[in-house]
Amino acid sequence: MKIPKHIGIIPDGNRRWAVKNGMSKENGYISGLKPGMEIFNICQKLGVQELTYYGFTTDNTKRPQVQRKAFTDACIKAVKLLSKKNASLLVVGNSDSPMFPKELFPYTNRKNFGNGGMKINFLVNYGWDWDLKNMANSGASNRNSIISNLNSYDISRIDLIIRWGGRRRLSGFLPVQSVYSDFYIVDDYWPDFKPSHLLDALNWYNKQDITLGG
């Protein structure tokens, strides 16, 4: 079986899940932590080399404050849980903004935790424009120099993007690293994660003819 080297995770549907379960929207995020750790564990076993989580974006920070606080807290908790694993962990996002939680400053340089291992990228206060504008004064002239001048330069090309919650869009997720990615959509909301979602996505990916645009 062809295992993607790098999987991108768009864990959408937390708010809709909360409403469906009779809670107010902001109470959905915390239920995304367990799925995040489960997917880490499965990917580690399968030998996936890199995993990128879409935490929250600069667009998301325009939501009501109670939601902003809830998703920021969930991201802080998620990064701390991941730092207890064997992982090479990096938080990527605009840390010059007050929307970036100070608790995550120590993670803005890649660091090995435990025995190191799978490369984990966690996007926090990430914006596609923030990412791209770093190359605006770079003189980048080819694919390699474009990528090396992104703010997300330490995140590799993504093979497979899995999005939960039924929407079929990138919502600003790493526009350069996703130019050739295959997309797989799970209709269930992220807090309803089941291992079969990931396994179905991998089975589907295994049947794709990867051409990198050729």
Where do contacts with its own copies occur on this chain (CB under 8 A)?
57, 59-60, 62-63, 128-129, 132-133, 135-143, 145-146, 149, 167-172, 175-176, 178-184, 208-209, 211-214
Element holding 54 (H helix, E strand): strand 50-57
Contact 100, 93 (CB under 8 A): yes
**To the nearest whole angstrom, how small is the minimum distance from the Cβ of residue 17 to its own copies?**
15
Q: Which is nearer to its own copies, 45 or 209 (CB)?
A: 209
Residue 65 phi/psi, 5-degree rounding, is -55, -35
Q: Which is nearer to its own copies, 153 or 183 (CB)?
A: 183
Q: To the nearest whole angstrom, how small is the minimum distance from the Cβ of residue 132 to its own copies?
A: 6
Q: How far is the CB of 43 from its own copies (least distance, A)?
A: 20
Which residues 6+ apart lie within 8 Å of 4 measured at CB? Answer: 48, 159, 160, 202, 205
- Shortest CB 42 distance to its own copies, Å: 21
